[in-house]
A and B are shown apart, each in its own frame.
Chain A
Amino acid sequence: SQQGEEDPQALSIQEGENATMNCSYKTSINNLQWYRQNSGRGLVHLILIRSNEREKHSGRLRVTLDTSKKSSSLLITASRAADTASYFCATVRSGGSYIPTFGRGTSLIVHP
């Protein structure tokens, strides 16, 4: 089964609004990563947050991690039409081989 599961599956907002996506996982992790995928393209890495970190920022992106709840959130502020894409979280388990395991993703549509 997938380690990470994103919520919601789909999100539709207007340009300028904030978009929040959540990711829940099941086992202890080494780190959690967020990726973006435009239709028909490969995945692009956005942010990596380690298990001992609680929050990270990158431009308009803010990622939080709550290891007690085994969840993470990705916030995109002041969204743009160009942010339309699918967003995936990937978890790397602590111990074992370092293989990122992906969820099913959140499909974000930002209307201009």
Chain B
Amino acid sequence: NAGVMQNPRHLVRRRGQEARLRCSPMKGHSHVYWYRQLPEEGLKFMVYLQKENIIDESGMPKERFSAEFPKEGPSILRIQQVVRGDSAAYFCASSPEDRGNTIYFGEGSWLTVV
């Protein structure tokens, strides 16, 4: 049973380019969470999605950031016109249901903006 799969693991973008991060949840999981981690810091919640529905996006910047979890295919976190401050590790996690139980993390996508 494959775990949460994230790709790419490492991504380098120049300022102003777009970054697309993908997350395939564990089999049978219908809920996806995205978190951002800056060096030496904890995880900051960004967005919580169910298939075809954004449940909570209170942690996501209003501009340049968007997320989706379509009926088919992986969840996508999209960052437009990246800036150096977007450099961070982005983690995706999934859970089978909306009951506040354990969430399972992927290995993360490390974005570097040069």
A binding-site residues for B, Cβ under 8 Å:
2, 30-31, 33, 35, 41-45, 48, 88, 92, 97-105
Contact B105 A99 (CB under 8 A): no
Q: Which residues of A contact B100 (CB under 8 A)?
A: 30-31, 92, 98, 100
B binding-site residues for A, Cβ under 8 Å:
4, 33, 35, 41-45, 48, 55-56, 91, 93, 98-108
Most buried by B among A31, A97, A98, A103: A98
Closest chain A residue to B104 by CB distance? A45
Q: How far is the CA of A102 from the CA of B35 in the complex (A)?
A: 10
Can you sample 15 A-B contacts with CB below 8 Å?
Answer: A30-B100, A42-B91, A42-B106, A42-B108, A44-B105, A45-B103, A48-B101, A88-B43, A98-B98, A98-B100, A100-B33, A100-B45, A100-B100, A102-B35, A102-B45
With A41-B108, A45-B104 as known contacts, state yes or no: A97 contacts B48, CB within 8 Å. Answer: yes
Nearest Cβ distance between residue B30 and chain A, in whole angstroms? Answer: 13
- Name the prevailing secondary structure of the A interface residues: strand
Nearest Cβ distance between residue A96 and chain B, in whole angstroms? Answer: 9
Contact A103 B42 (CB under 8 A): yes
Contact B48 A102 (CB under 8 A): no
Given A92-B100, A100-B45, list of 13 further CB < 8 A pairs?
Answer: A2-B42, A30-B100, A42-B106, A43-B43, A45-B102, A48-B102, A88-B43, A97-B56, A98-B100, A99-B48, A100-B33, A100-B100, A102-B44
